[in-house]
Structure 1
Amino acid sequence: MSHKDTGASVGAGMSRRDVLKYSLGTAIGVTLLGMNAQIVMAQGEQVLKVAHPAFDQDWSPLRGGGPPYRWNSAWHAAPMYFDQAGEIHPYICVAWNPNADNTEWTFMVNPDAKFSDGSPITAADIKGSWELSAMPASKNQRISQVLGGVVGYTDVTGGTGTEISGITAPDATTVVVKLAAADPIFFMRVANHIAPIVKVAQARGADGAEVQDWYMPQNGVVVSGPFKPTSIDLDAGKLVFEVNENFFGTKPKLSRIEITSVEDNVTATQLLKSGEFNAHTELVTSTIVADLGKEFADGPLIPTSQHFWFNASRAPMDDPKVRQALIMAVNRDDLFKASFPDGPHVKADQILNSVPGAEDSGFVPFPYDPEAAKKLLAESTYGGPERLPKLLFVGISGPAIEAAAQFIAEQWRQNLGITAVDMKPQQDAYAGPDQNAVQIFRDDVGTRVPDAASYLLGSIASTSGNAQGKLGNYKNDAIDALLAEASALPANDPARVTKAQDAQKLFHDDYMFIPWYSQTMSRWANANVAGMEKNLDWQVAAPWDISIS
């Protein structure tokens, strides 16, 4: 379905994107002439004006990722949620309890929870929302992190069914979930917006799949969160959200949220500095602190880290000595300075961060030793730089990422004599069989729960997407065994942490990545905006608390 603007027509020969860029450029020009742009608000109103980094054509809250995902909490509620300090809070569900062996969990629905049309949010809506998010056609990027351990989950993701047998709703306020194996922290897995709760009668068709464009205002969208969309113009890259008057939680302080697509980082930065916008969806530049101030970029460290991963199934990464040489030839202190000289992120030496066990894991940082790296490359089956195939990076998008990748390539040139290096921005273009053409993937790994075992299960276990894809079907049986043992232990058992730490040490010795940084979840908001703190789920934890002074 095409979404056409009903407003004034654009100039001849100009696309809507061209018109928007022209308008934004004009705004900057006016500012540079000395006129201070201000946030225009009617008396008594507070309007959050957000610059969004892409012209996204899909704003369904069921995708589990992408820039639009950053705003899920504004218009959809979750069963529970984590705040910025990592503390869990009730939301749609007010209680959750396991059975004796942690293989079954019971969730109780808040009897006051209701949708924007005033109808109650029921256990059937939770069950249906989870199943809808697991349907293959929904293309939810991270639903396995939420429901992967539930009995019957693969029937839906595999396309043989539309219902997850392990999820039942015995009455309107009770959801029961049966797991294939004990999971003491399952309650943490559902406390996020990866699979938010939607009105199933509206969002799900008779075939069990998602109804096209159900989330658009012109289709009478019903929401569960504090704000509801009143206008979505995908062609113009403009969305407007206003207060959901039937929200069952705290009344929002904002009157409206306006989201406008601004693709260029430089343009977005200037508009934020001028006051034309006062927040951003995800601004990642090397000079973010210098440009917009420490408070704009500040935030808590979350259990997410960015690294350069080696595809061990692709030459020359099939030789461990080549991998070790490539790692030891990079001065990672300078790598971090080249990409984020003023922060806000923190240099990483390991995968784990911001979870129990990360501080004293026993992980020995990879050393910077150019001479040892040269020796290792000479001892490898390739014998030296002249026999190496071209090294291809993907995921090199954005100024800070480009700066980091170029620094690595220059270190390899200076210290190892490697000159055949190429870089591409998009990872999606190398999915499936073509992925084997890539040796280095830049990407993040992390967890939505504060747990070391879960972090590594999604990063280095052979069952993880990271291991199967970016690491070239990497498998270390000892690592898999340790993480399986750890995940079955109670959340407060110290052995859960130590087994995860031991698994990470084993991964260290396989030389599979160049560590880069541990991620700060920035506010991405000017100093006059309060309540923009985000959680480990990349969501504004309490969007009803956002205010503008």
Structure 2
Amino acid sequence: MKKKLIIFSVITAMFSSIALTGCGSSTSSNSTAKDNAEPKVENVVKVTKASDKSKVPDSAQKRKDTLIIGNGVPGGNFVSFYAQTLTDAYVSDAVSDGLVDWDDNGKPIPGIAKSWDISSDGLTYTFHLRDDVKFSNGKPLTADDVKFSLELVFDPSFSGAVDCKSIPIKGGEAFKSGSAKDIEGIKVKDAHTISVTLEKANSSILYLIGTTIISKDYFGNDYTPGNTKGVEAKLQKPIGCGAYEVTKYIPGQEVDLTANSYYWKGTPKIKNLIFKATTEENKMQNLTSGATDIDTFDGTPENIDQLKSMGFVDYTTFPSSSIFYIGVNCKDPKFSDKKVRQALEYGLNREQMAKSVFKGNAYIINEPQSKAHASYTNDVNQYKYNVSKANKLLDEAGWKKGSDGIREKDGKKFVIHLMSSSTNAAHKLEIPIIKANYKLIGIDVEPELMDLNTLLSKTDKKDFEAYLMGTSLGADALSSNLAANFKTGAPSNNMSYSNSKVDDLIAQAYAEKDESKKTAIEQKIYKIINEDLPFIFTYQPQTVWASSSRVNGVKFLPYNSYPHSLFKAEIK
């Protein structure tokens, strides 16, 4: 996935990826994931209940007021604007709420903003805030806190994970440049009313500004415009308006939280949460022994069988919120011709990859969208494995096989330097398959293994030929994915891909108020990406969340982060 988040709402459920977190995935243990799954959340989310709740370990039963959740290593940035790890994102979701909430399909519904009005030109959104919301320190939340939260990401010294260029608030750029003291388009009407005026209509604006309100009184106390260091110094112990508050952070190990007694939806039933760092090597044992209550796993039949054999575990499966791919530098002469990129897709045995990495428990993907999303179409070229077709396309592109079987053009051999994470177990299984597949079509692959941070840095700087990665997908296909990854010059468009038709369609989709028409435009973009292939698509794994049956009320869904439901959870 990308190193930085493009919008506020990406944090909620879209961080899952092999690249950063070690993908958790699953499906049934006796069959390959079906490629024709209906693209509706209610049809792709499957919950399997525990067969014997009496088997809950004694060590877990003794924890009457504490829920322990296995996660990746926390990074210490517990405000979504700054979070760059999955665990930090989850902690932020537990600690802070936003203007809007999200339904099970990831659609915006009233939250702290109990309602909002939209002007006839679609440019001004007036939010009417609840008057009963307090931060975890007991101080009331007002429109000034919303204004502070929105303006923070436009501060010229802001170093977090939000690209403010994607948020078209009137006057935002002037504020960022330092030529204005306030953002013109943000107006506090009264203590519980605030309006946001846009430069141009944007159908995704609620996803872009709807989440995470932080306390101006707390974070703004040590803040001056142009210097956000005072804000950043408090990221490990934020004051939020969410269900929980952070009480302790042990770097590399865990984050401890306690219930916010002022929470506007009611004091959470479980008093304490612990987000505990687990690894692929110990997470199954931790769940088995009762050291953790919740965790996520790779979707192999072996893991599913182990979860079933425990007896006391409920588990939920659905398509991952990430898709995986080989990214190519479209400005590199080797990859500038889309016939070459199409040959790379035809020449890759993705079924073999899915069987090797996930024992078949993954979907083959051909468009930049999850099978769980309502806009998923499948009405695109399926690029079935076809060596003959790949060879033909490469011939047509002018790459001819030499005496050694490796293709050449203009005196240069076709060699792909493929970057990947040195610690990624999936990549280690994928690379030999990629090498063998591409050798059959006259292409040599030279792997370049490196630590993840180096890999992310190189992709951000576009210092690469090709790389293995995954990208997160949000409920709003446009803002979280299409505009972020494929718009010309977009911050996460590491492939240097550019197509004026795609850019025009993105603009049309942002301006379209009718949801069905917006979806139709997005599907046109999927088809163009399927033909142009700046991503060489591989697969979308299944995700499996396992939870001790002693815990009730936590919902695991593709487009709504599970910490949003923790306030309703109970320990039986």
TM-score (norm 1): 0.81
| Cα-to-partner distance string for 1:216-270 (whole Å, 9 max, x where unaligned) | 45xxx53211111222222x623211111111113212121112223x3112222
Work out whether residues 305 and 517 of structure 1, in 8 Å CA contact, stay in contact via their aligned partners in 2.
Answer: yes
Structure 1 residue 39 corresponds to structure 2 residue 39: no
Residue 458 in structure 1 maps to residue 484 in structure 2: yes
The residue that corresponds to 1:183 in the other structure is: 202
Aligned mates of 2:287, 2:71 — CA distance in 1: 12
CA offset at residue 100 of structure 1?
0.6
State the shift of 1:502 in Å.
2.0
Report if the CA contact (8 A) 1:114-1:120 is conserved. yes
In structure 2, which of residues 378, 383, 391 is the aligned counterpart of residue 366 of structure 1? 383
State whether residues 285 and 398 of structure 1, in contact with CA within 8 Å, keep that contact through their aligned partners in structure 2: no
What is residue 6 of structure 2 aligned with on the other side?
A: none
Q: Tell whether 2:161 aligns with 1:141.
A: yes
* Conserved? CA contact 2:342–2:390, under 8 Å: yes
Q: Which of the numbers 490, 514, 531 marks the counterpart of 2:536?
A: 514
8 Å CA contact 2:104–2:557 kept in 1: the answer is yes
Give the structure with the higher percent strand.
2
- Cα 1:371–1:184 change in 2 (3 A) is closer
The answer on whether the counterparts of 1:462 and 1:480 sit within 8 Å (CA) in structure 2 is yes
How much is the aligned-residue C-alpha RMSD, in angstroms?
Answer: 3.1
- Report the counterpart of residue 275 of structure 1 in structure 2: 290
Q: What CA deviation, in whole Å up to 9, does each residue of 1:92-149 have, x standing for no partner?
A: 111112101211101111111111222110011011012223435443324549x612
Alpha-carbon distance between aligned partners in 2 of 1:292 and 1:239, rounded to the nearest angstrom? 25
Alignment of 1:9-408 (within 5 A): 38-39=59-60, 41=62, 45-54=64-73, 56-67=75-86, 68-135=88-155, 137-144=157-164, 148-157=167-176, 163-192=182-211, 196-204=212-220, 205-208=222-225, 209-211=228-230, 212-217=232-237, 221-234=238-251, 237-262=253-278, 264-280=279-295, 283-284=297-298, 286=300, 288-293=303-308, 298-301=316-319, 304-341=322-359, 343=361, 346-353=363-370, 354-359=372-377, 362-384=379-401, 385=406, 387-395=413-421, 397-408=423-434
2:470 is aligned, of 443, 447, 455, to: 443
Judge conservation of contact 2:97–2:213 (CA < 8 Å) in 1. yes
Which of 512, 517, 531 is equivalent to 1:495?
A: 517
Aligned residues: 495
Aligned match of 1:12: none
Any conservation in 1 of the 2:414–2:443 contact (CA below 8 Å)? no
Q: 1:428 aligns with which of 444, 456, 461?
A: 456
- With the length of structure 2 as denominator, give the TM-score of the two structures: 0.78
Output the CA distance in 2 between the equivalents of 1:347 and 1:252.
40
Paired with 2:137 and 2:561, the residues of 1 have a C-alpha distance of 27
Distance 1:417 1:308, change over 3 A: closer
The alpha carbon displacement at 1:316 in A equals 2.1
Which residue identity lines up with residue 253 of structure 1 in the other structure? K
1:481 corresponds to which residue?
504
SS in structure 1 of the partner of residue 439 of structure 2: helix
- Structure with the bigger RCO (C-alpha within 8 Å, sep 6+) is 2
Relative distance call for 1:110 and 1:134 in structure 2 (3 A) is: same
d(CA) in 1 for partners of 2:109, 2:447: 48
Letter matched to residue 231 of structure 1: K
Contact 2:74 2:255 in 1 (8 A): no
**Aligned counterparts of 1:292 and 1:164: Cα–Cα separation in 2:** 52
- The answer on whether the counterparts of 1:55 and 1:261 sit within 8 Å (CA) in structure 2 is yes
- In the alignment, structure 2 segments of 5+ residues that lack a partner are 1-55, 408-412
Q: Which amino acid aligns with 1:373?
A: A
Would the alpha carbon gap of residues 306 and 175 (structure 1) be closer, same or farther in structure 2, given more than 3 Å must change?
farther
Note the C-alpha offset of 1:162: 6.3
Alignment CA distance shift 1:226-1:495 (3 Å):
closer
Secondary structure of residue in 2 paired with 1:180: coil
Q: Which amino acid aligns with 2:246?
A: P
Gaps of 5+ in 1: 1-34
Pairwise CA distance, 1:373: 1.5
Residues 174 and 246 of structure 1, relative CA distance in 2, 3 Å threshold: same
Deviation at 1:429, TM superposition (A): 3.1
Residue 196 of structure 2 aligns to which amino acid in structure 1?
V
Name the CA shift for 1:541/1:59 in 2 (closer, same or farther; >3 Å): closer
Please say if residues 189 and 448 of structure 1, whose CA atoms lie closer than 8 Å, have aligned partners that are also in contact: no
Moved more, 111-120 or 539-548: 539-548
Contact residue 326 and residue 412 of structure 1 kept, 8 A: yes
Identity among equivalent positions (%) equals 17
Q: CA deviation at 1:396?
A: 6.5
Secondary structure of the corresponding residue to residue 486 of structure 2:
coil
